[in-house]
């Protein structure tokens, strides 16, 4: 049935094309504009039928380009594909493009195709891995061979790099990306109102001197935590988006926790060394401020021995790791006559 309809529509469409291609083109664009206006983000949902209507059947050059996001609902829960995130970014690019051009630009449309419902379109494009974004230019005859694939590098900076890709390939400007604010105006107003309500209460507590802030223990643990967090290089991991560990290339079952080379570090590695940095100081403080007041001599000795061993081990470990990672060993600098 579907096939019949398919061939039928192709025949009628091609007849129509022969008859009045100009009229048909403007009709298609009008259809697309309606579809675009119907969708919330401006991304047109395509299926096998619409793909043929808007892409395969019209004669090239088509009056528009199509940027298509290939989606698969059943892979949404796989975090490594980042489908949800990329789709959201794709929608941001689409809506930014549309708002920047006041929904009057008919040169470029954004679409998405779902795998389950449009498997033949996936075959038509030759898509066999996700995430996958394709730009079908006005002159592309074969959807598989003539369209441009957005490669990994263009996903890397999300919406911004996708927009660059579009600008580069279609020579159309996307303009500034409009991201939805993290909090809506309503939420913002509520939060401000709450804050204002709380303010007198908080001020009263402060004047009375009975907040958590008056507890030095909180400050102490806060300060030590900030120290631990910083020396472990966590800021580096956040800025560079480093993973906690890598999977060994040669042996997929093995995990790599330590990265050799001083310019980079992995998350787990940083925290491990940050722990080593911190634990020595904590033990020293324990010895200086707690252990001296312990009355029992044996307990004191044992604790002292433990502290000494752990401190020694931690410092040695850091020196070894540092040597392994950067190739730097502790040197003495002696007068040359001593050698």
Distance separating alpha carbons of residues 181 and 175, to the nearest angstrom: 18
Using the rule CB under 8 A, which residue among 22, 253, 297, 336 binds another protein? 297
Q: How far is CA 142 from CA 16, 39, 137, 148, 170, in A?
A: 21, 27, 11, 11, 18
Beta pairing partners, 111: 44, 68
Q: How far is the CB of 126 from another protein (least distance, A)?
A: 19
Scanning residues 244 to 283, which ones bind another protein (CB under 8 A)? 262-265, 269-270, 273-274, 277-278, 280-282
Of the pair 73, 319, the CB lying nearest another protein is at: 319
State which residue, 23 or 329, has the beta carbon closest to another protein: 329
276 by Cβ neighbours in 10 Å (0-12 / 13-18 / 19+) ranks as: buried
Q: Considering the complex, what minimum distance in angstroms separates the CB of residue 330 from another protein?
A: 6
CB of 227 to another protein, least distance (A): 5
Q: To the nearest whole angstrom, how small is the minimum distance from the Cβ of residue 54 to another protein?
A: 24
CB of 138 to another protein, least distance (A): 15
Q: Which is nearer to another protein, 333 or 338 (CB)?
A: 333
Residue 236 near another protein by CB under 8 A: yes
- Choose among 127, 102, 96: nearest CA to 112: 127
Q: What's the rounded Cα separation, in Å, for the pair 170 and 282?
A: 60
Torsion (CA) 100, 168, 163, 85 in degrees, nearest 10: 150
Work out whether 2 is an interface residue with another protein (CB under 8 A). no
Do 43 and 90 meet the contact criterion of CB atoms below 8 Å apart? yes
Q: Pick the closer one to another protein by CB: 11 or 319.
A: 319
Site string for another protein, 79-108 (x = CB under 8 A): ------------------------------
Q: Quick check: 178 binds another protein (CB under 8 A)?
A: no
Q: Which residues contact 320 (CB under 8 A, 6 or more apart)?
A: none
> Which lies closer to another protein via its Cβ, residue 13 or residue 256?
256
Alpha helices in the chain (DSSP H): 2-19, 21-38, 48-51, 83-100, 119-125, 152-155, 158-170, 185-208, 216-231, 234-240, 267-289, 297-326
**DSSP, residue by residue, 186-228:** HHHHHHHHHHHHHHHHHHHHHHHT-SGGG-HHHHHHHHHHHHH
Residues in region 305-324 near another protein by CB under 8 A: 305, 307-308, 311-312, 314-315, 318-319, 322
**Shortest separation between residue 65's beta carbon and another protein, angstroms:** 15
Q: Which residues pair with 45 in a beta bridge?
A: 112
Number of residues that bind another protein (CB under 8 A): 74
Closest approach of another protein to the CB of residue 89, in Å: 15
Nearer to another protein, 64 or 228 (CB): 228
Give yes or no for a contact between 308 and 319, defined as CB atoms under 8 angstroms apart: no
Q: Are strands 148-150 and 132-136 parallel, antiparallel or unpaired?
A: antiparallel
Q: Hey, which residues between 182 and 211 contact another protein (CB under 8 A)?
A: 199-200, 203-204, 206-207, 209, 211
Determine the interface stretch with another protein among 41-49, 102-110, 114-122, 228-236 (rule: CB under 8 A). 228-236
């Amino acid at each position: 049935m579907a096939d019949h309809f398919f061939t039928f529509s192709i025949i009628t469409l091609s007849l129509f094309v022969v008859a009045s291609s100009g009229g048909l083109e403007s009709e298609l664009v009008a259809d697309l504009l309606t579809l675009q206006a119907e969708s919330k983000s401006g991304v047109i949902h395509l299926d096998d039928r619409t793909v043929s209507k808007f892409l395969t059947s019209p004669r090239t050059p088509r009056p528009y380009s199509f940027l298509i996001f290939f989606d698969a609902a059943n892979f949404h829960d796989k975090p490594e594909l980042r489908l949800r995130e990329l789709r959201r970014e794709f929608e941001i690019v689409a809506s930014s493009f549309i708002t920047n051009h006041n929904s009057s630009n008919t040169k470029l449309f954004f679409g998405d195709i779902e795998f389950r419902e449009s498997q033949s379109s996936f075959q038509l494009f030759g898509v066999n891995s996700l995430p996958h974004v394709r730009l079908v230019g006005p002159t592309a005859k074969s959807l598989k061979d003539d369209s441009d694939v957005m490669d990994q590098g263009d996903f890397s900076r999300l919406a911004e790099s996708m927009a660059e890709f579009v600008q580069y390939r279609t020579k159309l400007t996307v303009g500034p990306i409009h991201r939805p604010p993290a909090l809506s105006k309503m939420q913002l107003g509520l939060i401000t109102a709450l804050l204002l309500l709380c303010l007198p209460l908080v001020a009263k507590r402060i004047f009375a001197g009975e907040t958590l802030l008056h507890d030095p223990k909180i400050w102490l643990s806060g300060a030590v935590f900030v120290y631990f967090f910083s020396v472990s290089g966590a800021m580096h991991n956040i800025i560079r988006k480093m993973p906690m560990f890598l999977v060994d290339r040669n042996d997929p079952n093995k995990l790599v926790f330590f990265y050799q080379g001083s310019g980079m570090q992995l998350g787990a590695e940083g925290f491990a060394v940050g722990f080593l940095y911190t634990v020595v100081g904590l033990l020293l403080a324990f010895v200086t401020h707690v252990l001296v007041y312990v009355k029992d001599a044996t307990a004191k000795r044992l604790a002292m021995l433990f502290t000494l061993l752990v401190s020694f081990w931690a410092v040695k470990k850091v020196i070894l790791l540092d040597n392994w990672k950067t190739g730097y060993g502790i040197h003495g600098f002696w007068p040359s006559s001593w050698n």
